Chains A and B, each alone.
Chain A
Amino acid sequence: MIEVTNLHKGFNGEEILKGITTTFDRGMTNLIIGTSGSGKTVFLKCLLGLFTPETGAICYDGATYSELNEQQQRDLRERMGMVFQGSALFDSMTVEENVMFPLMMFTKQKKEEMLERVHEVLKRVNLENAEKKLPSEISGGMQKRVAIARAIVTRPKYLFCDEPNSGLDPRTAIVIDNLIKEITEEYDITTVINTHDMNSVMEIGEKIVFLKNGFLEWEGDKTQIFKTDNKAVTDFVYSSNLFKKVRDAQIKGL
């Protein structure tokens, strides 16, 4: 579980996050949503420890990040997995080497043991025949799956995803969303996903945090988001013509 208390973060005098307080539960897919510029990425980078908040606290299963020493912070980061928006796979390494990388860096396992684990996670993300390919030789959806495999190979306690289905076709996006949800339940980890894709909200939004201009505007789950009368949330949800038509049809009783 991750608890965030009164988080403030700014750059060059401009405050981006303005006192965010929320909780992300274990074994659940927690979504951070909001329009572009609402502070989602800054919030996610604070959770990852890439940005240091000005005030406030982030607590990972009882351990407050700012109170940990450098070594403890590194140990904590080793228990985090991250799926970047652009996958961030290492270009010069094959799929197998990319997934094996965290094991090589942080474990003392023999190569055979590492390969066994790599093939296990690649099988889990349905990528058994791409081990020897370079990231440039596989599709965007496959790259995302490699990124997920790399993120979970060390059995992390926390999984962070920055717009995991951006640039993917709707069908592949759903596959990736469901894969993340299944992995969250299977590994019993705390997953935080940064997205502005309403399809993801509908598919896997067990807890949703809505940001607007750096404030936490609303939080709830995927059923509540369609019932709320919060204007900022409804504007965001029904900015999609599809959702707008579905709502209009519901109102008309169709």
Chain B
Amino acid sequence: MIRLDNLTKVFDTPKGAVTAADHITMEVPSGEICILLGPSGCGKTTTLKMVNRIIRPTSGKVFINDEDTTGLDTQDLRRSIGYVIQQIGLFPNMTIEENITVVPRLLGWDKARYQERARELMRMIALEPDAFLKRYPSELSGGQQQRIGVARALAADPPVMLMDEPFGAIDPINRAVIQDEFLKMQQALNKTIMFVSHDIDEAIKMGDRVAVFREGRLVQYSTPDDLLAAPRNAFVESFLGEDRALKRLNLVKVREVVSDEIGTVRPGDTLEQALARIDDFGYQNSILMVNDRRQPVGLITRALARTTKGYCRDHFQNVPATVALDDDLRKVASLMFAQDTTWLPCVDEEGRVCGQITQRAMTHHLGSRFRPTQEDDAPPPDAATRE
């Protein structure tokens, strides 16, 4: 857990005092990723760097796991916090192994222990230990270097990590890969993480909570879904972008919206029966045909069923696409647009049909989260109170 209590930084500049962070009070619960989000100069980086005293707070306190860090020795404090920066900052004069083990060595671990730890970390970041440990940073690609940067921060297994735009300098394709890898690692590691970003999409993807900063103040602190559904003010709203409803699609899984009621036909049914079922269920265009194991095998269209006689197995069309329960709605929407359809069958892990998802259900789900908060201006309970 990281708790900031009225953390403030005032810089003395030739033009006068500038308040970079103004009474920031917030708490990151254990095991969660909190994204500090905002435009440049909003105070998010200053706030992050006050946690490990790269920037010394003017006033206010930082608590880590309920312990006031004010009294701690600066070096001890920093060694107990993982730190990842955008420029990566691997030491070019050290091998990968020396880079990764630098904190354990500072802490005085014995050699066997930190060497074993280095191998363990390399496996965790999916780089072959034997191939990489003896190489130098300049021999690695940017993406590999940042994985090493993350491994270095994790080396002494700190409970808390600070990450300053860690994936900002990596190309978009590799960035997505590293983000996914990192989230997977986090599921196992459960670190408490503060993570600076100026990228709203990254914030939504990575964050359990998002803190939006503006001009040194914490404007809104809530879950990504609440943030997108109920931006606190016009600034947050404009920062999130006009497509924020679409961004929320990323956050919702099919299983939250799926309707398990779906009418189907069998290959052995007649088209007449199929037409009856289409009407029974009120489907507009077509009905799904499944095999004995309830796997989707085809579509029977209303137009065809009305004009043709015979069995379903002889007159079906291909199923355009199916979605899985853990897919997000963004993928579903994309498939619907691409296939020009308003519904898609949903399958479970074994590929059996377990329901359907309709465009209407999706818009209803998003809308139901928007509506009450738009009518009622009261802030959500977990939001920051300062404005």
| Chains A and B form a bound pair | no
Chain B residues within CB distance 8 Å of chain A = none
